[in-house]
Amino acid sequence: MKRRTWISLASGVLALAAAPAFAQGFPNKPVKLQVPFAPGGTTDIIARVMSEPLGKALGQPVVIENKAGGGGVIGALETVRSAPDGYSLGMATVSTTAANPAINTKIPYNPTTDFTPIINIAATPNLIAVHPSFPAKDYKTFLEVLKKNPGRYSYSSSGTGGIGHLQMELYKSLSGTFVTHIPYRGAGPALNDTVAGQVPMIFDNIPSALPFIKDGRLIAIVVAAPQRLKELPNVPTFKEVGLEPVNRMAYYGILGPKGLPKEVVDKVHGATRKALEDPAVRKRIEDTGSIIVGNTPEQFTQQIKAEYEVYKKVVDSAKLKLD
């Protein structure tokens, strides 16, 4: 055997032997959790609620890093390109793993093959909310106003190709209305401008929008949820108003790049489940209007695949295109 071939084979054997040892020592330094949106949105809220208890369970700090842009694509792509060692994880959303890839064929990653799903932390309802100056305070009047004024109003979302964009476009196609899309670099900036009255309405997730609704700075019109929410008992679901295809909730989970060792996946999954056992953590998440999930890596993998297929069909059947 040639010396070069022998060295190559030996290096490969050593690398294989070292992999389990590396995973067993994980983590021995801080873990980054990438939020692919600006601060203030639901993804950021859930990540920050989890960071301290998750770090405690792992035995190392979990550091939140926000990287906004492209409807979540820029931050998600950074996770895809990270080393598969567990020290660079990302928050998974419907926008980054289903809606955006379904409508944007130029996204440089495959949501079903380029990630290692670890756990879905929580599911959250979505909603349409309007600024108090909007000439409608309930769904019936809201629809009448839009139909009488096609193109007059606009809506904000967390970004082009995100769940808020795609679900609102689906709503428009099914309801026969036209509202102009104003994309932002995350739900936080979109909310700020809607609350300030610069944009009359928003399609957003409940956790980030609910505080403004409770304060009377936004008015909830219709929600995407299995049933009416206890926090908003007078607000109908999309199913109730005859638009069941729009009635889909968002998810917020943790994933890593492709090839993440099983031992690392198991440790992060176990630490997340342990953090979710804390009543205080559960309460903070549930108080946002979210539902705790905490499923297995296998279940989350299937959920991402199923959600991507759903939105791909939505895009194809409704012939939706990017602005």
Q: What is the mean pLDDT of residues 204-232?
A: 94
Q: Which domain holds residue 136?
A: 126-246
State pLDDT tens for residues 98-114: 999 999 989 999 999 99
Residue 133, pLDDT > 90, answer yes
Sign of CA dihedral 285, 286, 289, 290: positive
Contact status, residue 301 vs residue 292, Cβ threshold 8 Å = no
- How many alpha carbons lie under 13 Å from residue 26 in its C-beta half-sphere? 26
- DSSP annotation of 29 reads S
Domain count, the chain: 2
Contact status, residue 35 vs residue 65, Cβ threshold 8 Å = yes
- The mean predicted confidence, pLDDT, of the chain is 91
Q: Are residues 38 and 68 in the same domain?
A: yes
Which among 246, 264, 296 is the end of a domain? 246
Task: Please report, for the domain that includes residue 227, its CATH number.
Answer: 3.40.190.10
* Predicted pLDDT at 323: 61
Please give the full DSSP string across 223-280, using - where no structure is assigned.
EESSS-BTTBTTSPBTTTTT-GGG---EEEEEEEETT--HHHHHHHHHHHHHHHTSHH
Cβ neighbour number for residue 56 with a 10 Å cutoff: 15
State pLDDT tens for residues 30-64: 999 999 999 998 999 999 999 999 999 999 999 99
Q: Establish if 323 belongs to a structural domain.
A: no
* Predicted pLDDT at 15: 44
| pLDDT band (50, 70, 90) for residue 228 | very high
State pLDDT tens for residues 218-227: 999 999 998 9
Three-state SS at 173: helix
Q: Are residues 199 and 263 in the same domain?
A: no
Task: Please report, for the domain that includes residue 308, its CATH number.
Answer: 3.40.190.150
Residue 18, pLDDT > 90, answer no
Residue 1, pLDDT > 90, answer no
Rounded to whole angstroms, how far apart are CA atoms 31 and 62?
Answer: 5
Rounded to whole angstroms, how far apart are CA atoms 204 and 224?
Answer: 10
Q: Are residues 133 and 226 in the same domain?
A: yes
Cα–Cα distances (Å) from 316 to 103, 112, 166, 285, in that order, read: 9, 18, 12, 34
Torsion, Cα of 106, 94, 241, 145 (10° steps): -60
Residue 186, pLDDT > 90, answer no
Nearest to 45 by CA among 132, 131, 128, 158: 158
Q: Are residues 182 and 136 in the same domain?
A: yes
Q: Are residues 111 and 134 in the same domain?
A: no
Q: What is the mean pLDDT of residues 126-140?
A: 98
